[in-house]
Amino acid sequence: AQKVTQAQTEISVVEKEDVTLDCVYETRDTTYYLFWYKQPPSGELVFLIRRNSFDEQNEISGRYSWNFQKSTSSFNFTITASQVVDSAVYFCALSAQGSRDNYGQNFVFGPGTRLSVLP
Amino acid sequence: DTEVTQTPKHLVMGMTNKKSLKCEQHMGHRAMYWYKQKAKKPPELMFVYSYEKLSINESVPSRFSPECPNSSLLNLHLHALQPEDSALYLCASSQEVRGPYSTDTQYFGPGTRLTVL
């Protein structure tokens, strides 16, 4: 079975602070993909990143960076110099190849972390 | 900018009404999805269409009836809903689904906020 844990239910920071959102995953598959999505109050899920299990290089995109640590099954997301517009719910998700006989949901979302950035 | 559109944005319906949610994607994707999301919860998968055929139905009640008229369009027909069906309904698409699984990125529409009275 696959599982994604986001231990932080809610985080509040003041604008310009750095903030890290934690994501821990479980899977028995050796080939899998990890995702982060942002859901602002408007409701749409915005895709941020997709990372495959064979690529452990950290990624940086503007103020966003991701730290993938296979040894600890974690895929953490850091926002540098946070802004009010970063306020949203952030979901980490896992997708794996699975087995031929295992029909079912293979795109698993974590419970989400609500980030509030205060001015 | 998202290339997955959903209409209507908001919908209020009674328990005896029949309504439809519509989704359209313009990315040439061959897999489309319906999700249901309750407040403060992650999205829950309802249906997956692959190449216009239903490939996954996550034990959704028959009062929800999906339809995929072509590769760009996905509908969700609603009939005799219950108040507990009130939620945000999200449509998504991805490049394709190989067998029952997809590891491709799913791109989501803005959702329809449904209220059942």
pLDDT at A79: 98
**pLDDT (tens digit, 0 to 9) for every residue of chain A, 119 residues total?**
789 999 999 999 999 999 999 999 998 888 899 999 999 998 999 999 999 999 888 889 999 999 999 999 999 999 999 999 999 999 999 988 664 334 445 688 999 999 999 99
Question: Looking at the predicted structure, is the pLDDT value of residue B100 above 80?
Answer: no
Partner-chain contact B100 A33, CB within 8 Å: no
pLDDT at A103: 42
pLDDT at B2: 58
Q: With an 8 Å Cβ cutoff, is A25 touching chain B?
A: no
CB-closest option in B58, B101, B105 to A47: B105
Q: With an 8 Å Cβ cutoff, is B108 touching chain A?
A: yes
Q: Which two tokens stand for residue A9?
A: 């239910």
CB-closest option in A33, A44, A106 to B111: A44
CB-defined contacts A:B, below 8 A: 60
pLDDT at B97: 66
Q: With an 8 Å Cβ cutoff, is A90 touching chain B?
A: no
CB-closest option in B101, B108, B110 to A98: B101
- A83-88 LR contacts (CB < 8 Å, sep 24+): A83/A15, A83/A16, A83/A117, A84/A15, A84/A117, A84/A118, A84/A119, A85/A117, A86/A115, A86/A117, A87/A40, A87/A41, A87/A115, A87/A116, A87/A117, A88/A38, A88/A39, A88/A40, A88/A41, A88/A114, A88/A115
pLDDT at A8: 97
pLDDT at A16: 97
Q: What's the CA gap between B12 and A88, in Å, rounded? A: 25
Q: Which of A44, A48, A91, A92 to mutate to test the interface with B (most CBs of B within 10 A)?
A: A44
pLDDT at B95: 87
pLDDT tens for each residue of B46-96: 998 988 888 878 889 999 999 999 989 999 999 999 999 999 999 999 987
